[in-house]
Amino acid sequence: MDEKIYDLAIIGFGPAGITAGIYASRYKLESIIIGKVKGGMITTSHLMDNYPGIEDVTGIDFTDKIVKHLEKYEECKIKEDEVIGISEIDNLFFISTKDGDNIKSKSLIIATGTEKRQANIKGEKEFIGKGVTYCTTCDGFLYRNKKVVVLGSGDSAFNSALYLSDIAEKVYLVCRKCSPSTEDKNVINKVEKNPKIEILYETEIEEIKGEKMVEKIITNKKEEIEVSGVFIEIGLIPQSILFQNLNIEFENNFIKVNKYCETSKKGVFAAGDITTGFCELKQVITAEAMGAVSATSVNKYLKTK
Task: Give the start-to-end residue ranges of the domains of the chain.
Answer: 5-115+236-303, 118-232
Instruction: Answer yes or no: 261 catalytic.
Output: no
Closest CA to 291 of 123, 42, 117: 42
- Beta-ladder partners of 151: 174, 232
Q: What is the pLDDT of residues 31-54, one digit of tens each?
A: 999 999 888 878 766 677 778 888
Q: Is 64 in the active site?
A: no
200-249 tens-digit pLDDT: 999 999 999 999 999 999 999 999 999 999 999 998 888 998 999 999 99
22: left (phi over 0), alpha (psi -120 to 50) or beta: alpha
- Domains 5-115+236-303 and 118-232 equal at CATH topology level: yes
Consecutive H or E run containing 225: strand 224-226
Cα distance from N-terminal residue to C-terminal residue, the chain: 25
**What residues contact 127, with CB distance under 8 A and at least 6 apart?**
208, 210, 213, 214, 230
Burial class (CB in 10 A: 0-12, 13-18, 19+), 120: exposed
Q: Is 279 a catalytic residue?
A: no
Report how far residue 293's alpha carbon sits from residue 113's, in angstroms, rounded to the nearest whole number: 16
Q: Domain 118-232 maps to which CATH number in 2.40.110.10, 3.40.50.11030, 3.50.50.60, 3.40.640.10?
A: 3.50.50.60
Q: What is the percent of the chain where pLDDT is above 90?
A: 75
Domain 5-115+236-303, CATH: 3.50.50.60
The catalytic residue among 7, 76, 139, 175 is 139
Which of these is catalytic: 7, 76, 138, 261?
138
2, 61, 101, 135: the catalytic one is 135
pLDDT in tens, 137-188: 788 999 999 999 999 998 889 989 999 999 999 999 999 888 888 777 888 9
